[in-house]
């Protein structure tokens, strides 16, 4: 059975800091407002939905305890709608989408909502810990190194200079600013309201339009301290071809820390007929896989090939790519290794400019690529993210 | 009880005095544990005893476990028996702290390892105010962990952060710091120790440890739920990688800390014992203990010294040649109270040699580790001169002039014309055969090689080379002098490059060979460092400059002709020399040395040595270790080294062969001679005859005859 995307919405992204506009909003509230919006604008009978799956990269504290179910009830959805939490680090939101699509494909579900949420200002990165980073026996023997070290390892091994990564970051800012100015996101953004119903935020707050290679050049590389503390030794143990690690990443060419949520409604053709909704795109294929965990962030190229193979497609069959901008080198490597021109990748800008609310991003960029395919009259899009510990997930969609 | 005695005073406080009947120090042994259990039970059952003072009848409190016992763990214990062994010592400490009596450790001298673990099991710790009385848990340095409660008590007493740092560094702590860290409770002069202990006992302290009180929990008991703790564990796990991936102890210690913090105390002790068992039964702890403690100690106590020869005295020595080596030898000799006549071709050069001592001592004064008057006294002992007549009455001559047979011969004759007929004459040559140099001597039986390493004041090893005619008495003098310097001797027979230089060459030539094969230079360097070599072979060559290794090869070709197998790295060195890059001193070699920032591999290397993708890092690592190990085996076969202990000591302390292997011959034993030979055959097939095992080594493999 084919799985179709019927709609998607997302919150604007607030700075993931105490002075960010969304800091006062709970994680469950971010999802609740999206569930309400996607129901109301489609006049949806929520009893037609089987499940809501929400991904979070820090599923602890207020983001733990199957936040999806709490949000379903909080939004006043039918009690019959289930809820589930998924966790695959940064790919969680896309995995949530894929899980809904897969169950529709399998015929065990008619429709559901997949998405993600992360209030990084409230559930701070690192609250969800785990053996992979912090159990000495596991971390040491698996050659764990922090992601920033992985990003700098990619730059070192692929020869990306500081100018290269800063150049990429400046272009992300330029594209994001242009996209907002042209209103490319207006169909998807649901402004976030406070307790008394006042709008707190209606635009991505993290962006720095006007960023240039020169302005970024003033920032100090962020991960040298960690490297010198021992992770350089870890990196060289896994990649002895590294003479010296080249530290090129910093806050300005890495994904921004933000608060936000995104959801995608997926269902069968029959669901659409019953709900009176028109499908916008078909979920063609999806895949997840693991890759070398020390460098951590190189799975997207391989998982892209895997998803393409599942779909019987080639790189050239894809019109637009969305690869989460975890770090500039991740995207530069992806384009280099798959030979994809920059004008097909993250054409609306990415997480370096607009921010990366960990578990939410997969759903957000699924929406962005769909809107952009519609705006430009193109057909196929591929969404992918690298995730911690060497993981990666990809999804291919096609407009219908 | 043979090793301890209990005396109870009128105040009801018993003193338990540890006094090992068999050794000069108190050590944890099976007999000690048994007696300690007995004493503890006796004390616990005696209602008349209100408190216990635990002290030592030796100048030190307790040095720790008996390494002679622990070194056998790998060969004699299973994981289960090693676990039981550790639990027995843990139970001993547990019996003390749960005896219902308050115990005070009165540490009248140093308390390290098992000795400090014992003190940690007591309820109060008094340390004598003496800079030599240090405390600490240095087990990590011998490939082990404190296996009788040390990891668990330290983190609970000092806190996670301090405990982790002390356990991972293994460093010894002096009184004032120990007090500040909270790992001892009082630091007092020796005369006041007993009173301090009694005063505390008189307060009627509760003899229950905090972790035995219901409701006790370390803050870290919640484990990785605490974000800062989780981040700390992540960072610390990463920092362990700085000591490489060959040492199992540091990460096992960190696992004990991490896993133990979550558990109730007795379960935590059991987990500690399990990790201890893994380490004790690993070859790494055996190798480190055997070479760096037992063999090293034995060598320093005169294992290689011929018997029946009276100990030599050294009041005045002559050092001929005031270059880098001569200057260093003069310094270390003057530091142990020997007068030194430092001779060079003119007074100016000799004075320059003495200036080295002034620089080194000046730095120590600036650091506060040396007093001005002491430094002055050392400097007064060094007389720089160009006058051979001052050598009159010298007890020993050490020649360190230019490495040229004729210059050395002339120096020998000039000195022998002055010095007493009985004086031993030593050459510090690193390359010229001692027997050849001895031909210039009128007394070849008194001629010997004393090969110091650079920098002399920091390198602990001295390679003593016997020439064909060197007498046992001469060897005894040389060993006595090395002992006076408090350095570690190895004794070798004459051979090209002797022992250390000869084997060390194989490392750098293997690096050169890899370059020729197309292995990327960074991979070569990192592979060598990954096995534990302190520096990569290309960087080493740059420091040496290529002229020295090339000269050695040329000499060998001259002497042996076609019989000589030209080392694999020669061609790479020649190619570099043709580019005008012969090492750091020539402005650059394999590396560039920019004025700012660190050295960088020369970008032109890939033009001369095109890189190929066809290499296996695991095999590169193996080749570095095997090349050195098989050359050492040849030295043993040729009797260049007479004992395996000397071979291993020379490897670890002479050129930095990694200590986790125990040295080149321990490394072969750890692999197993048979497997080593099989692998050598494979490597010889692939890379050349330098890996080919001899019939002698094959015979050892066939009969399962190891080097120990």
Q: Which residues from chain B sit within 8 angstroms of residue A132, using beta carbons?
A: none
Residue A201, H or E segment: strand A199-201
Percent of chain A past pLDDT 90, that is, above it, reads: 100
**Burial of residue B592 (number of CB atoms within 10 Å: 0-12, 13-18, 19+):** middle
Query: Does the fold of domain B316-495 match that of domain B4-281?
Result: no
Can you read off the two tokens belonging to residue A197? 């119903």
Confidence of residue B247 (pLDDT cuts 50, 70, 90): very high
Whether pLDDT at B556 is above 90? no
What is the mean pLDDT of the segment spanning B130-146? 97
Whether pLDDT at B301 is above 90? yes
What is the mean pLDDT of the segment spanning B564-587? 91
Q: What pLDDT, in 10s, does the model give residues A277-333?
A: 999 999 999 999 999 999 999 999 999 999 999 999 999 999 999 999 999 999 999
Task: For chain A, say whether B533 makes contact (Cβ under 8 Å).
Answer: no
Q: How many helices (H) and strands (E) does chain B have?
A: 31, 20
Do A230 and B598 make contact, defined as CB atoms within 8 angstroms? Answer: no
Residue A164 near residue A332 (C-beta atoms within 8 A) = yes
Residues ≥6 apart with Cβ < 8 Å to A30: A11, A22, A117, A119, A192, A259, A260, A261
CATH 3.40.1050.10 is held by the domain A1-123+131-400: no
What is the mean pLDDT of the segment spanning B614-626? 97
Residue A49 backbone class (left: φ over 0; alpha: ψ -120 to 50; beta: rest): beta
Confidence of residue A241 (pLDDT cuts 50, 70, 90): very high
- Using CB atoms, pick whichever of A226, A234, A242 lies closest to residue B522: A242
- Using CB atoms, pick whichever of A126, A140, A236 lies closest to residue B237: A140
Q: Which residues from chain A sit within 8 angstroms of residue B230, using beta carbons?
A: 126, 129, 133-134
Task: For chain A, say whether B611 makes contact (Cβ under 8 Å).
Answer: no
Q: What pLDDT, in 10s, does the model give residues B366-418?
A: 999 999 999 999 999 999 999 999 999 999 999 999 988 999 999 999 999 99
Q: Which residues from chain B sit within 8 angstroms of residue A147, using beta carbons?
A: none
What's the pTM?
Answer: 0.94
Q: Which of B226, B234, B274, B620 to mutate to test the interface with A (most CBs of A within 10 A)?
A: B234
Distance CA B601, CA B594 (A): 11
* Domain spans in chain A, listed from the N-terminal domain onward: 1-123+131-400
Residue A233 near residue A143 (C-beta atoms within 8 A) = no
Residue B284 near residue B148 (C-beta atoms within 8 A) = no
Nearest CA in chain A to B591: A243
Options 2.30.110.10, 3.90.226.10, 3.30.450.20, 3.30.420.40; which CATH number does B4-281 get? 3.90.226.10
CATH number of the structural domain B316-495:
3.40.50.720
Q: What pLDDT, in 10s, does the model give residues A174-190?
A: 999 999 999 999 999 99
pLDDT of residue B535: 95
Scan residues 259-288 of A and list those with Cβ closer than 8 Å to B.
none
pLDDT of residue B263: 96
Q: What pLDDT, in 10s, does the model give residues B520-537?
A: 999 999 999 999 999 999
Do A229 and B225 make contact, defined as CB atoms within 8 angstroms? Answer: no
Q: Which residues from chain A sit within 8 angstroms of residue B526, using beta carbons?
A: 236, 240-243
For residue A349, CA distances in Å to A96, A215, A263, A342, B562 come to 23, 18, 19, 11, 69
Q: Which of B565, B567, B599, B598 is nearest to B581 (CA)?
A: B599
Distance CA B268, CA B417 (A): 71
Distance CA B119, CA B178 (A): 13
Residues ≥6 apart with Cβ < 8 Å to B704: B673, B674
Residue A8 near residue A369 (C-beta atoms within 8 A) = no
Confidence of residue B182 (pLDDT cuts 50, 70, 90): very high
Confidence of residue B552 (pLDDT cuts 50, 70, 90): confident
Q: Are strands B13-18 and B4-8 parallel, antiparallel or unpaired?
A: antiparallel
Do B224 and A234 make contact, defined as CB atoms within 8 angstroms? Answer: no
The H-assigned helical ranges of chain A are 27-41, 67-74, 92-106, 131-134, 136-141, 147-158, 162-181, 213-216, 224-226, 232-238, 269-275, 299-311, 328-338, 351-354, 361-376
Distance CA B260, CA B244 (A): 24
Instruction: Looking at the structure, give the CATH architecture of the domain made up of residues B501-639+643-703.
Output: Orthogonal Bundle (1.10)
Distance CA B441, CA B413 (A): 7
Whether pLDDT at B564 is above 90? no
Confidence of residue A18 (pLDDT cuts 50, 70, 90): very high
Whether pLDDT at A6 is above 90? yes
Task: For chain A, say whether B246 makes contact (Cβ under 8 Å).
Answer: no
Q: Is B159 a catalytic site residue?
A: no
- Using CB atoms, pick whichever of A127, A139, A236 lies closest to residue B237: A139
Nearest CA in chain B to A141: B245
Task: For chain A, say whether B234 makes contact (Cβ under 8 Å).
Answer: yes
pLDDT of residue A193: 98
Q: Which of B238, B249, B527, B619 to mutate to test the interface with A (most CBs of A within 10 A)?
A: B238
Q: Which residues from chain A sit within 8 angstroms of residue B258, using beta carbons?
A: 134-136
Confidence of residue B555 (pLDDT cuts 50, 70, 90): confident
Whether pLDDT at B548 is above 90? no
pLDDT of residue B97: 97
Percent of chain A past pLDDT 70, that is, above it, reads: 100
Kindly calculate the radius of gyration of chain B based on its CA atoms and give it in whole angstroms: 28
Q: What pLDDT, in 10s, does the model give residues A44-96?
A: 999 999 999 999 999 999 999 999 999 999 999 999 999 999 999 999 999 99
Using alpha carbons only, give the angle B446, B452, B457 rounded to the nearest 5 degrees: 130
Distance CA B305, CA B491 (A): 9
Whether pLDDT at B613 is above 90? no
Q: Is B517 a catalytic site residue?
A: no
Q: Which residues from chain B sit within 8 angstroms of residue A59, using beta carbons?
A: none
Specify the DSSP class assigned to residue B638: T
Distance CA B655, CA B160 (A): 37
Confidence of residue A140 (pLDDT cuts 50, 70, 90): very high
Q: Are strands B27-28 and B64-65 parallel, antiparallel or unpaired?
A: parallel
Q: What does the DSSP assignment read for B174-185?
A: -HHHHHHHTSSS
Residue B173 near residue B165 (C-beta atoms within 8 A) = no
Kindly calculate the radius of gyration of chain A based on its CA atoms and give it in whole angstroms: 20
Residue B159 backbone class (left: φ over 0; alpha: ψ -120 to 50; beta: rest): left
Q: Are strands B102-107 and B124-128 parallel, antiparallel or unpaired?
A: parallel
* Domain spans in chain B, listed from the N-terminal domain onward: 4-281, 316-495, 501-639+643-703
Can you read off the two tokens belonging to residue B529? 């460092």
Q: Is B139 a catalytic site residue?
A: yes
Q: What is the mean pLDDT of chain A?
A: 98
Q: What does the DSSP assignment read for B489-525?
A: EEEEE--TTTTHHHHHHHHHHHHHHHHHHT--HHHHH
Residue B272 backbone class (left: φ over 0; alpha: ψ -120 to 50; beta: rest): alpha
Confidence of residue B551 (pLDDT cuts 50, 70, 90): confident
Task: Provide the 10 A C-beta neighbour count for residue A398.
Answer: 18
Q: Is A348 a catalytic site residue?
A: no
């Amino acid at each position: 059975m084919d799985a179709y995307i019927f709609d998607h919405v997302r919150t604007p992204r607030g700075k993931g800091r105490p002075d960010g506009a969304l800091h006062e909003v709970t994680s469950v509230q971010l999802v609740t407002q999206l569930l309400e919006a996607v129901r109301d604008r489609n006049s949806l009978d929520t009893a037609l939905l089987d499940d809501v799956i929400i991904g979070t990269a820090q599923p602890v504290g207020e983001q733990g305890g199957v936040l999806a179910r709490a949000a379903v009830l909080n939004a006043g959805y039918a009690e019959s709608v289930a809820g589930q939490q998924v966790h695959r680090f940064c790919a969680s939101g896309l995995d949530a989408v894929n899980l809904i699509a897969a169950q529709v494909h399998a015929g065990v579900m008619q429709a559901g909502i997949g998405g993600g949420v992360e209030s990084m200002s409230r559930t701070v990165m690192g609250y969800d810990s785990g053996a992979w980073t912090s159990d000495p026996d596991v971390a040491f023997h698996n050659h764990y190194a922090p992601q920033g070290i992985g990003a700098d390892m990619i730059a070192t091994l692929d020869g990306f200079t500081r100018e290269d990564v800063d150049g990429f970051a400046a272009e992300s800012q330029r594209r994001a600013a242009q996209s907002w100015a042209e209103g490319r996101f207006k169909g998807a953004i649901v402004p976030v309201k406070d307790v008394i119903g006042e709008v707190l935020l209606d635009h991505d707050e993290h962006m720095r339009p006007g960023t240039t290679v020169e302005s970024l050049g003033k920032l100090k590389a962020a991960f040298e301290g960690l490297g010198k503390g021992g992770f350089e030794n870890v990196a060289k143990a896994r990649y002895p071809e590294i003479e010296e690690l080249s530290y090129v990443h910093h806050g300005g060419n890495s994904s921004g820390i933000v608060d936000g949520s995104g959801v995608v409604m997926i269902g069968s053709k029959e669901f659409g007929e019953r709900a009176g909704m028109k499908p916008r795109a078909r979920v063609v294929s999806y895949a997840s896989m693991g890759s070398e965990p020390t460098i951590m962030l190189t799975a997207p190229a391989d998982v892209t090939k895997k998803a393409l193979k599942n779909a019987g497609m080639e790189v050239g069959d894809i019109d637009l790519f969305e690869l989460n901008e975890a770090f500039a080198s991740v995207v530069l490597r992806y384009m280099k290794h798959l030979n994809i021109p920059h004008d097909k990748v993250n054409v609306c800008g990415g997480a370096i400019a607009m921010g990366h609310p960990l578990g939410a991003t997969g759903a957000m960029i699924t929406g962005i690529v769909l809107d952009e395919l519609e705006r430009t009259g193109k057909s196929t899009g591929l969404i992918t993210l690298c995730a911690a510990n060497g993981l990666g997930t990809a999804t291919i969609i096609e407009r219908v | 009880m043979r090793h301890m005695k209990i005396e109870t005073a009128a105040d009801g406080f018993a003193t338990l005095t540890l006094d090992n009947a068999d050794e000069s120090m108190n050590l944890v042994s099976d007999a000690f544990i048994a007696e300690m259990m007995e004493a503890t039970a006796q004390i616990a059952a005696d209602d008349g005893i209100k408190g216990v003072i635990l002290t030592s009848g030796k100048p030190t409190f307790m040095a720790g476990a008996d390494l002679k016992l622990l070194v056998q763990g790998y060969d004699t214990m299973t994981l289960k028996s090693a676990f039981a062994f550790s639990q027995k010592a843990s139970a001993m400490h547990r019996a003390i702290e749960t005896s219902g009596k308050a115990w005070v450790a009165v540490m009248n001298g140093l308390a390290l390892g098992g000795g400090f673990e014992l003190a940690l099991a007591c309820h109060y710790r008094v340390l004598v105010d003496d800079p030599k009385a240090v405390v600490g848990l240095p087990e990590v340095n011998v490939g082990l962990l404190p296996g009788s409660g040390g990891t668990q008590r330290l983190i609970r007493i000092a806190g996670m952060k301090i405990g982790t740092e002390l356990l991972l560094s293994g460093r010894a702590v002096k009184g004032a710091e120990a007090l500040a860290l909270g790992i001892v409770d009082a630091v007092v002069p020796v005369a006041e120790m007993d009173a301090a202990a009694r005063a505390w006992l008189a307060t009627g302290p509760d003899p229950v440890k905090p972790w035995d009180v219901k409701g006790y929990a370390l803050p870290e008991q919640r484990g990785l739920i605490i974000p800062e703790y989780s981040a700390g564990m992540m960072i610390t796990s990463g920092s362990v990688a700085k000591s490489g991936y060959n040492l199992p102890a540091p990460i096992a210690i960190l696992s004990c800390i991490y896993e133990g913090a979550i558990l109730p105390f007795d379960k935590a002790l059991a987990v500690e014992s399990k990790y201890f068992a893994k380490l004790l039964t690993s070859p790494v702890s055996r190798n480190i203990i055997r070479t760096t403690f037992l063999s090293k100690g034995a060598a320093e106590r005169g294992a290689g010294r011929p018997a029946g020869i009276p100990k030599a005295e050294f009041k005045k020595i002559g050092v001929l040649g005031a270059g880098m080596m001569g200057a260093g030898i003069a310094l270390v000799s003057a530091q142990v109270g020997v007068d030194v006549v430092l001779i060079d071709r003119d007074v100016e050069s000799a004075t320059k040699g003495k200036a080295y001592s002034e620089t080194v001592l000046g730095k120590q004064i600036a650091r506060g580790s040396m007093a001005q008057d002491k430094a002055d006294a050392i400097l007064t002992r060094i007389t720089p001169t160009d006058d051979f007549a001052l050598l009159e009455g010298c007890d020993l001559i050490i020649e360190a002039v230019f490495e040229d047979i004729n210059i050395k011969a002339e120096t020998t004759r000039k000195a022998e014309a002055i010095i007493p007929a009985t004086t031993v004459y030593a050459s510090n040559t690193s390359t010229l055969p001692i027997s050849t140099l001895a031909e210039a001597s009128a007394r070849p039986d008194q001629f010997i090689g004393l090969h110091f390493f650079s920098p002399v004041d920091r390198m602990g090893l001295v390679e003593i080379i016997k020439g064909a005619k060197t007498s046992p008495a001469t060897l005894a003098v040389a060993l006595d002098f090395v002992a006076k310097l408090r350095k570690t001797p190895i004794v070798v027979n004459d051979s090209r490059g002797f022992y250390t230089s000869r084997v060390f060459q194989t490392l750098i030539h293997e690096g050169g060979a890899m370059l020729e094969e197309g292995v990327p230079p960074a991979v070569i360097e990192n592979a060598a460092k990954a096995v534990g070599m302190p520096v990569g072979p290309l960087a080493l060559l740059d420091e040496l400059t290529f002229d020295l290794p090339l000269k050695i090869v040329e000499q060998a070709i001259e002497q042996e002709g076609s019989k000589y197998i030209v080392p694999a790295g020669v061609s790479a060195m020649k190619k570099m020399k043709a580019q005008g890059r012969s090492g750091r001193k020539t402005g650059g070699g394999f590396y560039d040395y920019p004025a700012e920032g660190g050295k960088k591999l020369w970008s032109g290397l890939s033009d001369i040595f095109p890189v190929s993708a066809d290499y296996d890092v695991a095999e590169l690592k193996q080749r570095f270790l095997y090349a050195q190990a098989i050359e050492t085996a040849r030295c043993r076969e040729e009797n260049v080294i007479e004992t395996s202990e000397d071979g291993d000591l020379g490897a670890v302390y002479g050129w930095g062969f990694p200590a986790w292997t125990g040295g080149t011959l321990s490394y072969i034993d750890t692999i197993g001679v048979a497997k080593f030979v099989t692998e050598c055959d494979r490597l010889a097939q692939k890379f050349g005859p330098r890996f080919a095992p001899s019939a002698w080594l094959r015979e050892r493999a066939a009969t399962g005859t190891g080097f120990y």
